[in-house]
A and B are shown apart, each in its own frame.
Chain A
Amino acid sequence: MTKNLLAERPVYVVGIGFHPYRHRSDATYVTLGLTAVRQALDDAAVAWADVEVAYTGTALLGMGASRIMLSRLGSTGIPMTQIENASASGSSAVAQACLDVASGRSDLALALGLDKPRGGLPMGPAEAGMANLEGGTIVPFTHFALLASEYMSAHGVSPEAVAKAAEKNHRNGANNPNAQRQKIRSLAEIMAEPISGSMTRLQCCPVGEGAAAVIVASEEAISRLGLDRSRAVRVLSSATRTERLYGPGEGIDAALTAETAKVAFEQAGIEPTDLDVLEVHDAFSIEELLYTEALGLCQPGEAASLVANGQFDLGGKCAVSPSGGLLAMGHPIGPTGAGQIGEIVRQLRGEAGSRQQPDARTGLAHMVGVGAVCVVHVLQRG
């Protein structure tokens, strides 16, 4: 029987930091990354010299980006590894940092999500030598427009009902100073500018630049370094899975999400109804409906009505994408999954200010990525 290391040796998030997500600028990736890491070190009240291992989640930076950046905090010689896992790269950096501490190899680990898109996303599957009849037409927004078509048809849901998830997330993002989009939008604005199927520009995430850092620690590190226990948030579980073969009508992303979440819930020992806050891969509005259902928050076809009656709002039963999600906070690729952990930690600490979910105790972060891959983390305050 395999071990659940996170149950045997508890791991806590003790520091979070961001460089705001925004349109590509002249700033180097080093500036973006160092901004987030310094903020996370300050937040945790630890020194760089205390960090024993670093993982950089990035899909686009290229070879060898980590040391020349992180050595500007001091050349301590610690192990550094870059993690590429498509849109879930930052999530996987967090997963590796947690595993590193849970295994007992280290007591204090950094996970940094970082990217600076340069126009065009290099995609491995395009190099796999597979032919198809798509002729390059099925880009991500159309992949999800097709899932929206299938969902709306199967459940009798209107395009406006799907768009309401985006309306909520734009509203949440308006209260997040790290968000790329910080503007409340009317449903009419969101329904304008069609891109593909029912997906409009404001129902598609912006891809810019940014960074998000997460510092995780063992009990020993918290004691030894005298860290603030009341602000430490435990990582109950970390699950990663990849796509299997599913039948027609079983959406890949939702089926994969359900399988990955099942592992994460079992290892965490919680139920979907225990969740107070949730950050999902809402790169396109339809995804919030697909994933909240796949995660077991409601039955298939019900999510649109839960969005409509405010159950996923701040103050609702479970706040979904309180950060603004990928739709409003943005999706700079590498940072996104690490940034989700940062938002969940902020919420569970009760430090989210004007976008605080009241009495948030348990949260979940979910990313999918091209491949397809899925990474889920469950976090809980003490």
Chain B
Amino acid sequence: MSQPRPELLGNSSDGTPFLIGQRCRHCSRVAFPPDPYGCEACGALIDQLDCVELRAAGVVQAVATVHRHHREVPPTPFTVAAIVLDDGPLLKAVLTDQSAGAQVGDRVYGIAEPPDSSPPLRFTREHGGPGVDR
């Protein structure tokens, strides 16, 4: 029997995707992605970790356009970013093709990809944000 991986994404009533993170009751660490084993900061057991909704929005800390990839999906070139979420955690994600020109410091937000896509969510530059039309 395979061990199910934690769900990463949820949808608000208005259809906006959010990220499912965890907050540790013992040390207050907020983590993303959610961990199936326990708290990486203090070692608290999984039953001490509460699911929390994290806004799929943040600031680009680093960005790279990838020209060589060992898989067919996503097709190259594609652009990835390290993003510091407004709610704390740092994650790495693929940007939409329209936001391939994103730069460090740009605000980005997550948009859901079609079902069964890999990755299931990409980030795109925020409308009216400082990085648009650069």
Contacts and interface: CB of A to CB of B under 8 A. Distances in A.
Interface of A: 129-139, 141-142, 145-150, 153, 194-199, 245, 248-249
Given A130-B5, A133-B8, A133-B119, 18 more contacts: A130-B33, A132-B33, A133-B94, A134-B93, A134-B94, A135-B73, A137-B66, A137-B80, A145-B64, A146-B63, A148-B64, A150-B62, A150-B82, A196-B64, A196-B68, A199-B64, A245-B40, A245-B41
A142 B90 CA distance: 16
Contact of A133 (B5, B36, B93, B104): B93
B35 interface: yes
B121 interface: yes
Contact of B67 (A132, A194, A248, A249): A194
B71 A136 contact: yes
A249 B41 CA distance: 18
Most chain B CB within 10 A, of A134, A137, A198, A199, is at: A137
Nearest to A195: B68
B8 A138 contact: no
A195 B69 CA distance: 9
8 contacts: A130-B33, A131-B5, A133-B91, A145-B64, A153-B103, A194-B65, A196-B65, A196-B67
Contacts of A197: 63-66
Contact of B61 (A142, A195, A248): A248
Contacts of B121: 133
Most chain A CB within 10 A, of B7, B82, B119, is at: B82
B69 A137 contact: yes
B55 to A, nearest CB: 14
Most chain A CB within 10 A, of B61, B68, B119, is at: B68
A132 B80 CA distance: 13
Nearest to A198: B64
| Residues of B in contact with A, size category | 35 or more
Interface in B78-134: 78, 80-82, 84, 89-94, 103-105, 118-121
B13 interface: no
B35 to A, nearest CB: 7
B92 A146 contact: yes
Interface of B: 3, 5-8, 29, 33-36, 40-41, 61-71, 73-74, 78, 80-82, 84, 89-94, 103-105, 118-121
Contacts of B69: 137, 139
B80 A129 contact: no
A136 B81 CA distance: 13
Interface SS of chain A: loop
A129 to B, nearest CB: 5
A248 B84 contact: yes
A248 B84 CA distance: 7
Q: Which 7 pairs show the lowest CB-CB distances between chains A and B? A: A197-B64, A135-B119, A145-B64, A150-B62, A149-B62, A153-B104, A146-B62
Contacts of B81: 146
Contact of B104 (A131, A132, A150, A196): A150
Contacts of B82: 146, 149-150
B92 A195 contact: no
Nearest to A149: B62
Nearest to B6: A131
Contacts of A198: 64
Nearest to A193: B67
A133 B8 CA distance: 8
A195 B5 CA distance: 31
Nearest to A153: B104
B131 to A, nearest CB: 13
B5 A153 contact: no
Contact of B66 (A132, A133, A142, A249): A142
B6 A150 contact: no
B91 A146 contact: no
Given A131-B5, A134-B93, A137-B69, A146 B119 contact: no
A305 to B, nearest CB: 21
B63 A134 contact: no
A198 B36 CA distance: 35
Given A129-B36, A142-B66, A196-B67, A149 B92 contact: no
Contacts of B67: 194-196
Given A131-B5, A146-B64, A150-B82, A137 B74 contact: yes
A130 B92 contact: no
Contacts of A146: 62-64, 80-82, 92
Given A138-B92, A150-B82, A133 B33 contact: yes
B22 to A, nearest CB: 12
A249 B91 CA distance: 12
A306 B119 CA distance: 40
